[in-house]
Amino acid sequence: MNVKLVTAALLISMVASGCSRMPRPAASRVGDGHSFLEVSCLREGRVVRERIETDDLLVDGAIKNEYIDAVNFGVLDSVSFTDNDPNRIVLNQRPVRLDFGKAVEKDSPEYHALLTCHYITRAIEYFDRLFEGRIDFNSQAGYRTIEVVFGGASLLSSPRKYIEERGVVLSPSLFYHEIGHRAFWFLEDGLKIKFRGLSVIHMGLLEYFTVSLNDSPLVGEGFLPARLMRDASHFHRHPADETSNLDHTFRLLRDSYPRAILDPDSFIARYYRSSVSYYGDRLGRKVDNHRGGMILTGTLWRIRQQVGRKKTDRLVAGTILDLNRYLDCRASFYGVDDAHADQVWWYEVFFGLIDQDRRWNGGANREIIRREFARTGYPVERVRLAPRGS
């Protein structure tokens, strides 16, 4: 797995921002006869309270389950970049001992640790069910110890390290997105799906599962400023324009933090300077795959609204598992594309969804899939489909 993809994947997508703070509810006891904890999460502007089970998270007074061996907690003091490379992040933090023998207070380290591991586990179980155990998360041994850190630098969160601002209500999309990276690393590295790195197709499919699991088109709600949030319900057209390039993303970052960007010692200013220096003149040419990927995510989200979550999830997962097969027979339904000669591209996804729907639903959703891809601007007329019913 390419560690640099973690930061590229998070580039501006996980910037911390202020959001609603809620009154502190009565503490729940865990480890003393109670098996639940009430947590709050943000979904489409509303704070939603959820009672989560803790029996599957706590063993002998510590967090541990099938997917997680341990949780280390800390308070972030500063962030530095080795050799001024924004991909080589050092979190300078003070450790905090977790104590689950007492009542878990709202916004405490114990609360954040349990909430984080609950949503991580939910996401892993979702992918495990959907891909019928084909994604072996436990083969990724380096991710069995999780770090949760109090700090205002959610931009630097990764599938191993989650940076959360104390007292801020988070969207579960943070956790679902990060576990999505692990799932897609395995799809590429373990199952050899030919995404060829963090392409817009890779990210568009990944982010579909983020929004579908969260049952909301919003990614980054509660920890991204409005200009940087991603919304699958917005109409994103193919092909991507210049607003999908990294220089546009960094302008949004700069404009979202007009005061912090002027403070040379602030996290935002230091990250901005490091990133602009690192990418240099590539900023105007390099696509921000998270923003570009929303073209495909938005298309799939519209299909989901008409076909339903369960069927669409199954169609997308089945298509992904067969992408290499569709790539191998590309010449029979699309032709030659030298620019993506050995890389799955949008037409494999489109053809695959039609094929999977034929297999699972008798082709009942063929026209919906074709129409939504065409509405996005994909040239579906270039894809030769088998006659209906064949």
pLDDT digits 0-9 by tens, 323-350? 999 999 999 999 999 999 999 999 999 9
pLDDT at 2: 45
pLDDT grade, residue 388 (50/70/90)?
confident
User: Tens of pLDDT along 219-255?
Assistant: 999 877 889 899 999 999 999 988 899 999 999 999 9
Give the pLDDT of residue 390: 61
> Helix crossing, 346-361 with 289-307: angle to 10°?
20
389 — pLDDT class (breaks 50, 70, 90): low
The share of the chain scoring above pLDDT 90, in percent, equals: 75
Give strand pairing partners of 70. 145
User: How far, in whole angstroms, is CA 88 from its chain's centroid?
Assistant: 20
Structure tokens at 171: 């969207």
Confidence of residue 285 (pLDDT cuts 50, 70, 90): confident
pLDDT tens sequence across 198-225: 999 999 999 999 999 999 999 999 877 8
Q: How far apart are CA 86 and CA 267, in angstroms?
A: 12
> How far is it, in rounded angstroms, from Cα 154 to Cα 158?
9
* pLDDT for 311 beyond 50: yes
Q: What is the pTM of this model?
A: 0.91
Helix, strand, or coil here: 219? Answer: strand
Q: In this structure, what token pair is assigned to residue 45?
A: 């502007």
- Give Cβ neighbours of residue 72 (< 8 Å, ≥ 6 apart): 95, 145, 146, 147, 148
pLDDT, tens digit, 9 for 90 and up, residues 142-166:
999 999 999 988 878 899 999 999 9
Residue 24 confidence (pLDDT) above 50: no
Question: Helix, strand, or coil here: 371?
Answer: helix
pLDDT tier for residue 56 given thresholds of 50, 70 and 90: confident
Interhelix angle for 173-189 vs 109-130, to 10°?
40
- Work out the angle at residue 61's Cα, subtended by the Cα atoms of residues 102 and 107, and round it to the nearest 5 degrees: 50
Give per-residue burial for 257-280: e unless 16+ CB within 10 Å, then b. Answer: beebbeeeeebbbbbbebbbebbe
- As a whole number of angstroms, the distance between CA 138 and CA 159 comes to 13
User: Does residue 21 register a pLDDT over 60?
Assistant: no
Residues 6+ apart with CB under 8 A from 202: 184, 188, 195, 289, 293
Closest CA to 257 of 266, 248, 244, 265: 266
Give CA angle at 178 (316, 209), nearest 5°: 20
- Whether 201 contacts 179, CB under 8 Å: no
* Overall size of the chain counted in residues: 390
Burial status of residue 81 (CB atoms within 10 A of its CB: 0-12, 13-18, 19 or more): buried
CA distance 36 to 31: 10
DSSP codes joined into one string, 107-118: TSHHHHHHHHHH
CA distance to 21, 67, 194, 301, per residue, from 128 (Å) = 33, 12, 20, 21
Residue boundaries of the structural domains of the chain = 4-231, 246-286, 289-382
pLDDT (mean) for 71-91 = 89
Single out the residue of 214, 230, 138 nearest to residue 183, CA to CA.
138
Contacts by 3-8, CB closer than 8 A, 24 or more apart: 3/87, 4/87, 5/181, 5/185, 5/197, 5/198, 6/87, 6/158, 6/159, 6/181, 7/86, 7/87, 7/89, 7/156, 7/158, 8/87, 8/198, 8/289
Of 18 and 376, more confident: 376
Alpha helices in the chain (DSSP H): 4-10, 109-130, 173-189, 200-214, 246-256, 267-279, 289-307, 309-321, 323-328, 330-333, 346-361, 366-376
Q: Identify the three-state secondary structure at position 176.
A: helix
Q: Which of 173, 131, 36 is nearest to 321 (CA)?
A: 131
Residue 18 has pLDDT above 70, yes or no: no
Tell me: the pLDDT tens digits for 89-130?
888 999 999 999 999 999 999 999 999 999 999 999 999 999
**Residue % of the chain over a pLDDT of 70:** 91
For residue 31, the tally of other CB atoms under 10 A from its CB is 18
265 residue type, one letter:
D
Mean pLDDT of 70-90: 90
